[in-house]
Amino acid sequence: MHATVGGWVRYSYLTLHRNFPIGYGGMATSDEPCSNLHRGTGPFSERETQAVRRAVGNNRDSRRFAAYLTVHCYGQYVFVPKTYEEGKTPTAERDVRVANRIREIIYQ
């Protein structure tokens, strides 16, 4: 996405995992549209996160979802869920194992 400002083209970035309501506006986020840490104008402000909300919301049986993955081409990162407080999530060790396996497959 981009906008012309004063004759210059400004590109707008959005990091989708920063566009969910939990932890919105916290550490490592920015309200600057040209920042690679841009979180959007508000929680669920982007079509992609709205689609995830609809898909999960329409399937109340959470057992249907094994994982929600996003691909970050910029740094070729695999992110795992984390808490917004100190400590680990209950599934942290499993999540790291899965992320490491995904990384191995990507780099084959």
pLDDT value of residue 63: 65
pLDDT value of residue 77: 73
What is the pTM assigned to this prediction? 0.65
pLDDT value of residue 36: 82
pLDDT tens for the 108 residues of the chain, in order: 445 445 555 556 777 888 888 888 888 889 888 888 889 999 999 888 898 888 887 666 666 777 777 666 666 677 776 655 677 778 888 888 988 898 888 888
Cα gap 78→63, rounded to integer Å: 22
pLDDT value of residue 43: 94
| Sequence spans of domains, the chain | 1-61, 66-108
CA distances from 99 to 5, 62, 82 (A): 40, 21, 13
Question: What DSSP state is assigned to residue 10?
Answer: E
pLDDT value of residue 38: 87
- Compute the residue count for the chain: 108
